Structure 1
């Protein structure tokens, strides 16, 4: 298996933090997305490489294994178990035989696994007794914010197998869920690995989302702000009529209880919707309006 430099694919340094990784992934995903590069096989291939790199580096556990074991990072757990087993056998048998020459050099891992699973020495009974859990698979699922307002069912294809799953409403960007038993096959009769799905949620609305709360800025003309009145605003699902109090100040905020986003895994529970008023001052006024404002200024003084 050839070594793939995930850091180079995402165009980042090895010291990059999670924020930098997410930023790089989003930038490159937009650039090479199949919807933007139709009929471009190279762009589609690049998009797959970007997704794979993000799946590994955005997960702290898999990134640690990748940094330590290189191309054999997927077998990190098996390598550690083999080390422990070797140490145990040596302590029991008082012998240094076993996986001779095995050390932490990543260049030797492939030979180690070839001898372990592909026709190596059968002596000692270790290979017949060892059971290893299959490797975990990682996948990234990109969704729009409007897609997760309600729970939905989707069918994913992972390694040629179709998996039907329910995506709960209210999932968050970067959230990872684990589906047990849908990873790689175990070795020596060991259990299958798991499938880890990380959600990449794109906000395709004009609203700002923080957890289950939504935020929106609404323009308010000067006269309505001063005199009060009724306006219509957009929430996530519908339009709502609001009564504006006379003398409403710029930056004033209104809370619409229960009009926000669904609370994850709490059926029927919603956050709040916060509206901030932005009072607009007229850029041009007529002579008559100017006279009236001057009269108001005199009255106020």
Structure 2
């Protein structure tokens, strides 16, 4: 992926909201769980990597300025490491491995392909410089006795679409990793949009005897046609009939934990909000926003009744509105 904007079908002028929408659109059509086509999987992986780079405005600005490449790597430092390697000096003297990906090619440049297997080569005679034990170099470990370098695997990041109810109530979802393996991920109750879940040991493979890195899942909570969320409070749009709006009474209302009975006041209007205390997420409140729905057909009896009623009770709900 040389151009993250192209991977998302965008240009550099795209807004942050357009970037998010473009990624979600690709995820809904090309995610491996939804589309088995290998080409779709490649498009999804490219889009996911592009979104991971561009979703952070500061990181996006650094890419646009040429400070980092499409993989998020520092351009100057990356060349700096290579220059050191070509001169045969030790490039790990003052620098950490964090953020620089797989350095196996650098190891081979410095110490030869056999050094990582304990054989001879350019690095085989360096054991005396390290005291015969294991030495750490900001994430790299040099094993004594000419055993080569060990390095923990690279951490990887993925984006995961989660439906509204799973995020609100908690649950589990199965994902397919780029290597083809499937994994069940537990979604905690009240998971929020943008929240990150850490999966220990599910990242890139280590170098030498280094362990695997971790995987980080950034959650993207989908919208719901009837529910909205504000922190741990939720709002449900509840349709009510014309007679319920006029006469009031008890109605059944869905909640995250099941339906409950609620008293509807007489003369209820669309947009009116009622509260169900403690029925939100993890003890938050649920708000019920009413929506008056007319009958599917206005029959002659209803029309005649309203004509008679209007003759003696007409009112103007738009009175006082500015023109």
In the superposition, the TM-score normalised over structure 2's length comes to 0.63
**SS, match of residue 18 in structure 2:** helix
Take 2:263 and 2:287, find their aligned partners in 1: how far apart are those partners?
Answer: 15
2:318 matches 1:292: no
Matched residue, 1:4: 2
Matched residue, 1:28: 26
**SS, match of residue 118 in structure 1:** helix
**SS, match of residue 67 in structure 2:** helix
Take 1:184 and 1:77, find their aligned partners in 2: how far apart are those partners?
Answer: 24
Tell me if structure 1 keeps the 8 A contact 2:251–2:262.
yes
Unaligned runs of 5+ in 1: 87-95, 101-108, 262-268
Shift of 1:139: 1.7
Residue 230 of structure 2, aligned match among 210, 223, 232: 210
Take 1:133 and 1:142, find their aligned partners in 2: how far apart are those partners?
Answer: 28
Tell me if structure 2 keeps the 8 A contact 1:114–1:120.
no
Take 1:168 and 1:78, find their aligned partners in 2: how far apart are those partners?
Answer: 39
Aligned residues: 269
Take 1:68 and 1:232, find their aligned partners in 2: how far apart are those partners?
Answer: 58
Residue 44 of structure 2, aligned match among 37, 42, 47: 47
Q: Which moved more, 1:22-31 or 1:283-292?
A: 283-292
Matches within 5 A, 1:97-176: 98=89, 116-120=106-110, 130=137, 131=140, 134-148=153-167, 149-152=169-172, 157=177, 159=179, 166-176=186-196
Matched residue, 1:195: 215
Query: What is the RMSD of the two structures over their aligned residues, measured on CA atoms?
Result: 4.5
**SS, match of residue 225 in structure 1:** helix
Take 1:135 and 1:36, find their aligned partners in 2: how far apart are those partners?
Answer: 27
Compared CA separation, residues 71 and 55, structure 1 to 2 (3 A)? closer
Unaligned runs of 5+ in 2: 92-99, 112-121, 141-150, 316-323
Compared CA separation, residues 242 and 160, structure 1 to 2 (3 A)? closer
Instruction: Tell me: higher relative CO, structure 1 or 2? Use CA pairs within 8 A at least 6 residues apart.
Output: 1
Deviations along 1:65-100, one digit per CA (max 9) or x if unpaired, are 7663426645889849959xx7xxxxxxxxx98489
Tell me if structure 2 keeps the 8 A contact 1:153–1:165.
yes
Matched residue, 2:144: none
Matched residue, 1:70: 69
**SS, match of residue 68 in structure 1:** coil
Instruction: Select the structure that is richer in helix.
Output: 1
Matched residue, 1:247: 267
Take 1:116 and 1:156, find their aligned partners in 2: how far apart are those partners?
Answer: 31
